[in-house]
Amino acid sequence: MPHGPTHLFIPGPTNVPDAVRRAMNVPMQDHRAPDFPELTLPLFADLKKIFANEAGRVFMYPSSGTGAWEAAISNTLNRGDRVLMSRFGQFSHLWAAMATRLGLDVICIDREWGEGVPLEDYARHLTEDKSIKGVFVCHNETATGVTSDIAAVRRVMDAADSPALLFVDAVSSLASIPFEQEAWGVDLAVTGSQKGLMLPPGMSMLGVSAKALAAHQSSTMQRCYFSFADMIRTNDVGYFPYTPPTPMLHGLRCSLDLLFDEGLPQVFARHHRLAEGIRRGVSALGLSLCARAPQWYSDTVTAIRTPEGVDSAEVCRIGFHRYRTSFGAGLSKVAGTVFRIGHLGDLNEVMCLAALASAEMSLADAGAKVELGAGVAAAQDYYRSATAALEAEVDPPRELPRESTGGAS
């Protein structure tokens, strides 16, 4: 009989805090009751703070993030519209496939898996082709542990005087790494409940700019379940056009409170600190990342290349069966050569050390020549210094009173 929990270090679903789980344990309630807006209207307002979206609005759908992908496209574009996309990982690949299936004319730029959005290519296409109606970017490519610079994409669009809408997948970045929808000129930002928001899967959130809401008025693409018009009509008074996942809304209330209590800047700093410890541990083991340069490093997931001859799927299998640890498997093009440690949401330094310890053992058992303890030690050194610096910043050390050297009392 195994004891203790199975450790979850995949990049989503993430660990759900006990307080959030308790908050969702509520009796069923009437989602048409007069008091229901007391729960929902503050959620809409607070989600706008998470997206940093003041002039637009946020929709909540009972779906995975894929549903919000489809909602973003179907409510703002028309079949045949030309859009600019790039593929550098499994999720950017899937979004491009959806755009094609929905009838868009997709210009797709393929990059090496381990790189991010190709700014120079975007600049060239946007300068040469003024018919482009949408520019798509995966902010944090979960399959490869790569984060792209969204503000730089907006600068490229502005330099080209592009009127296109900017679509961003923020599923594994929102509420974990800095995201500024309004400041960065993001028109449609997609996320899911099961990542930085620390909820179970089942809800998606879509931040929509004022410009995108205006574009909705001329969009003729068919939609029903994801209709902005239906959502606006009911959301404005605190309801939904269909039965919402009420327990999830209570969980969201709790998770937002946890994030605000910690402070978003502190949340972002914590994620960077934890990620840097993982990266230093991986380096100490002599391993490399899928992300090809520090400019791409993700603070929510680290994709680790296994040594030649070591199957990353076997590392994941061993971790799960022998050490009760779930790592993210390599997907598609990097299957068998990459495994992933997710480090977002509700976690701390000691949890990250546990992930590294299990990874070391799993790698060694799979045939990798790694020095057990080297990665953990490197991360420990970093966490000790980083935590000490953080404490000094928050509470500067004070001189302790000197002990008396006089006679006996």
Q: What is the pLDDT of residues 260-298, one digit of tens each?
A: 999 999 999 999 999 999 999 999 999 999 999 999 999
**Per-residue confidence at 396, pLDDT binned at 50, 70, 90?**
low
**Model-level pTM greater than 0.85?**
yes
pLDDT of amino acid 404: 43
Rounded Cα–Cα distance for residues 163 and 119 (Å): 17
Give percent above pLDDT 70 in the chain. Answer: 96
Q: Using one digit for the tens of pLDDT, what is the confidence trace for 143-178?
A: 999 999 999 999 999 999 999 999 999 999 999 999
Domains in the chain with CATH codes: 18-261 (3.40.640.10), 263-393 (3.90.1150.10)
Q: What are phi and psi of 219, to 5 degrees?
A: -80, 130
Residue type, 69: W
Please say if the pLDDT value at position 141 is more than 50: yes
What is the predicted pLDDT for the residue at 407?
A: 42
pLDDT single digits (tens) 182-208: 999 999 999 999 999 999 999 999 999
User: What is the β-pairing status of strands 301-305 and 204-208?
Assistant: unpaired
3-state secondary structure of 60: strand
The token duo for 406 is: 């006089």
The average confidence (pLDDT) of the chain is: 95
Which among 210, 225, 221 is positioned nearest to 66, based on CA atoms? 225
Q: Which pLDDT band holds residue 398 (cuts at 50, 70, 90)? A: low
Averaged pLDDT for residues 317-321: 98
- DSSP H helical segments within 111-149, as ranges? 119-128
Q: Which residues contact 49 (CB under 8 A, 6 or more apart)?
A: 260
Section 380-399 average pLDDT: 83
Please tell me the distance from the alpha carbon of residue 339 to that of residue 217, in angstroms, as a whole number. 44
Residue 68, pLDDT score: 97
Task: State the angle between helix axes of 312-323 and 349-365 in degrees (0 to 180), rounded to the nearest 10.
Answer: 110
What's the rounded Cα separation, in Å, for the pair 318 and 305?
16
